[in-house]
Structure 1
Amino acid sequence: MPNEQTVLALAARLRDAESARQSVAPVRDEIPGGDDAALAYAVQRARVDARCAQGERVVGRKIGLTSIAVQRQLGVDQPDFGTLFASMAYGDNAPMPLSRLIQPKVEAEIALVLQRDLVLERHTFADLIDASAYALAAIEVVDSRIRDWDIRFVDTVADNASSAMFVLGSRPVPLAELDLAACAMTLSQDGEVLSRGNGSACLGNPLNAAVWLADRMAQLGTPLRAGDIVLTGALGPMVAVTGPATFTAQIDGLGSVRATFTDQELP
């Protein structure tokens, strides 16, 4: 069993960093062996439980580390996951205050919205296709509470997979009308393309990532449910947000979605 005292202390440190908008040193040095994934996920769960206790609503999950190159960089052979809350969700082109972030970056993704529960021990492509009501273009805003993005696998896992905000597009498309692996993506700012990619950059196909997540969540006793949003992973390199700006992700078959950052405080 993970050390409860260590779990609660690290969860509190990351929660305080997020509240104060001040990054902290990596947490890996305080995790036994520096690579105890079980303890890191326990820290994440403690943070999720604390937010739920404050009245926040879980609306889905995100999948991280879907790039093989990034996995190799962090010394792992699988993705990770984090929890999405309603308070993280923004509509297309809705203003997002920079004051609520520390060192944000954006990445374009394909989101799935489920219409059926996924409770099996092992799922297939067919299970995920049948369970998905539709796909949407999405932009995830990632933001590490770890100083200078100096992260390893356990750092990002404990930090809720470096999640912060997400923006969903408004054009729902059934999976039958898409070739998810072939969907080309561009992420641009003021007409300048800053990132390119396609669905195959996400573990070969975004459904590979979704199957992994469905299996993992069912094994943990917290299966994906109807209505959940699943951010399946980045389709190309992430881009740093350095000030007020609008980023536009264009994904073949799914249209566009815009993430707009403002330096004005919002209610």
Structure 2
Amino acid sequence: MTTRTIERAAAALLEREDTRVDGEPLTDEWPDLDLATAYAIQDETLRLREARGETVIGVKLGLTSRAKQRRMNVNSPLTAWLTDAMVLPVGEPAPLEQFIHPRVEPEILFVLGRDLAGPGVTAATALHAVDLVMGAVEVIDSRYRDFRFSLPDVVADNASSGAFVTGPVARSAVGIDLALEPGSLEVDGKVVDTATGAAVQGHPAQALAFAANDLGRRGHTLRAGWLVLTGGMTDAVPLQKDTTVAADFGSLGRVVVGA
């Protein structure tokens, strides 16, 4: 793919997001799309977001659970960007009109206290860079029809980014066993899935280390103050009108999203 094609693909994905109209995967037209080019599309999409006034506030990870990796036939997560336009106000209903086919999943979120640059970052090193830990709910949304995509497609699509809301509890990572931190997903008060932090690469800090190293290879650094969504602990459920979805964490409180 040429630079012009990368720009065209990024603009098309952003237009789908803005108009709430999905389409076919990029690989239907470009079957040879590889990960390096997919990340170039993702970065170009970020450039377009910044050009219209959005600000980078962190990163998110996708496919951090082994179950999701097996489903996609991959063996590693992927990284994507978070901007201020993706933040949902706490306590307010999620605006369904802003999404195509939103789904919701519980995640553990890190707030970084200092810069973190790869390569060579370990989970222990990554955890030392964390200022605060919070529970969060991410609303994922794909620009591909029926969530049909390959790994390069979803990388280009910023890992199905949509929006997210943070929980009411912010704690130091010291003294919390994040591998055992529970997270249950409820729909209208009924528990539909449960997991612990171990579902995220064995430990959420492993996901953070992966993000630092992956971004480092691409010339990026995780910055102090940034937020890092470490990936879905459970499968995602659809967010529908007149539905309330909640994530209940052990020591990180309860996060509710209504529509």
TM-score category of the 2 structures, normalised to the smaller one: over 0.9
Q: The residue matched to 2:174 in structure 1 has which SS? A: helix
The residue aligned with 2:18 is 19
Distance, in Å, in 1 between the alignment partners of 2:70 and 2:39 is 20
Q: CA contact under 8 A between 1:31 and 1:39: conserved in structure 2?
A: no
**Aligned-pair distance for 1:190?**
2.2
The 5-angstrom pairing of residues 1-267 of structure 1 reads 2-34=1-33, 36-261=34-259
**Aligned-pair distance for 1:210?**
0.7
Distance, in Å, in 2 between the alignment partners of 1:88 and 1:25 is 23
- Can you give the 5+ residue segments of structure 1 that lack an aligned partner in the other structure? 262-267
Q: CA contact under 8 A between 2:59 and 2:227: conserved in structure 1?
A: yes
Q: CA contact under 8 A between 2:124 and 2:205: conserved in structure 1?
A: no
The residue aligned with 1:264 is none
**Aligned-pair distance for 1:121?**
2.1
Identity of aligned residues (%): 38
CA-based RMSD of the aligned residues comes to 1.3
Q: The residue matched to 2:134 in structure 1 has which SS? A: strand
**Aligned-pair distance for 1:252?**
1.0
Q: CA contact under 8 A between 2:87 and 2:164: conserved in structure 1?
A: yes
Q: CA contact under 8 A between 2:115 and 2:221: conserved in structure 1?
A: yes
Deviations 1:7-48 (A, max 9, x none): 1121111111111101011111233524x0111111111110
Which amino acid in 2 is paired with 1:104?
A: P
Distance, in Å, in 2 between the alignment partners of 1:31 and 1:67 is 28
Point out the more displaced range, 107-116 or 123-132.
123-132
- Can you give the 5+ residue segments of structure 2 that lack an aligned partner in the other structure? none
Q: CA contact under 8 A between 1:98 and 1:244: conserved in structure 2?
A: no
Q: CA 1:20/1:156 → structure 2, altered by over 3 Å: closer, same or farther?
A: same
Distance, in Å, in 2 between the alignment partners of 1:116 and 1:11 is 31
**Aligned-pair distance for 1:125?**
2.3
Aligned residue-pair number: 259
Point out the more displaced range, 14-23 or 243-252.
243-252
Structure 1 consecutive aligned stretches of length 4 or more whose deviation exceeds 6 Å: none
Distance, in Å, in 1 between the alignment partners of 2:31 and 2:235 is 31
Q: CA contact under 8 A between 1:110 and 1:136: conserved in structure 2?
A: yes
Which amino acid in 1 is paired with 2:43?
A: R
Distance, in Å, in 2 between the alignment partners of 1:226 and 1:65 is 24
Q: The residue matched to 1:106 in structure 2 has which SS? A: strand
Distance, in Å, in 2 between the alignment partners of 1:95 and 1:162 is 20
TM-score (normalised: structure 2): 0.96
